[in-house]
Amino acid sequence: MPGIDECLLEAMALPGARGAALVDWSSGLALGTAGESPVGDHETTAAETAELARAAAEYESFAPAPGEPGSVGGPAAAGPPVEDLIVTTRTGYHVLRFVETSFDSSVFLHLWLDRTDGNLALARLRLRALAEGLVLR
């Protein structure tokens, strides 16, 4: 089970990976980073991506439909209602994968991929596996 640094290094091994971070979406702070940042500063990128994550995790529009796990009156669900977010730019992809933990977690993995060399489907699958195996110490 990898810790933060190992997890980010594994994410950086994906084709087209430019940068990776583990971010606390409640505070907007980067808990760990690897590679480059789209704006040259990992803390700025962490704060900006945290705004997106917060919106997805807290806004009613993204909540489960009635009767689905996690909805009012539906079965309980662990973690935020959103699994991941994908933002596509002209030059890259940003994949934000929420990390479920045994405690009340508010962290996500952020992977920045080059659009030419990156494989979005592979990145989503790999980030899911990394998030599931991540050990927060």
CATH, residue 80: 3.30.450.30
| pLDDT tens, residue by residue, 40-49 | 999 999 999 9
- Number of separate domains in the chain: 1
| pLDDT tens, residue by residue, 122-135 | 999 999 999 998 87
Residues 8/20, Cβ–Cβ less than 8 Å: yes
For the ranges 24-33, 43-52, 128-137, which has the lowest average pLDDT? 128-137
Burial of residue 13 (CB within 10 Å: 0-12, 13-18, 19+) is exposed
Instruction: Say which residues have a Cβ less than 8 Å from residue 113's Cβ, sequence separation at least 6.
Output: 14, 16, 17, 18, 92, 93, 94, 95, 119, 120, 123
Q: Which of 23, 15, 46 is nearest to 115 (CA)?
A: 15
Predicted confidence band at 5 (pLDDT cuts at 50, 70, 90)? very high
Instruction: Say which residues have a Cβ less than 8 Å from residue 100's Cβ, sequence separation at least 6.
Output: 78, 79, 131, 132
Question: What pTM, to 2 d.p., does this model score?
Answer: 0.86
Range of the domain at 52: 4-133
